[in-house]
Structure 1
Amino acid sequence: MGTGGGVVMGSERDDTPVLITAAEPSHDDQHAARKRKYITMMAMRLPCFALALIFYNVWWLALGFLLLSVPLPWIAVLIANDRPPRKAEEVSRYQREPRAIEGGDHQVIEG
Structure 2
Amino acid sequence: MKSSSIPPSATSLPRAPQDDAGARSRRYLIMMAIRIACFVLMVLITPYGWYTWLFAAGAIVLPYVAVVLANVGEDVHRKDAENPERALTAGPVAAERAPDRTPPVIQIQETRSIPRTPDQTNPPGSDEDVR
- TM-score normalised by length of structure 2: 0.49
> Are positions 1:51 and 2:51 aligned together?
no
Q: Structure 1 residue 17: deviation in Å?
A: 7.5
> Are positions 1:70 and 2:64 aligned together?
no
Name which of 42, 60, 63 aligns with 2:32: 42
Mapped to 2, the partners of 1:57 and 1:17 lie a distance apart of: 67
> Are positions 1:31 and 2:44 aligned together?
no
Q: Give the superposed CA RMSD.
A: 2.6
Higher helix share: 2
Mapped to 2, the partners of 1:32 and 1:89 lie a distance apart of: 23
Q: Give the residue type in structure 1 aligned to 2:7.
A: V
Q: Structure 1 residue 88: deviation in Å?
A: 9.1
Name which of 7, 13, 33 aligns with 1:18: 7
Structure 1: which 5+ residue stretches go unaligned? 1-13, 93-111
Instruction: Kindly tell me the number of residue pairs found equivalent between the two proteins.
Output: 77
- TM-score normalised by length of structure 1: 0.57
Mapped to 2, the partners of 1:89 and 1:67 lie a distance apart of: 38
Structure 2: which 5+ residue stretches go unaligned? 84-131
**Structure 1 residues 32-91: Cα deviation after superposition (integer angstroms, max 9, x where no partner):** 11010111111111110111122242232212211121110100011010012276969x
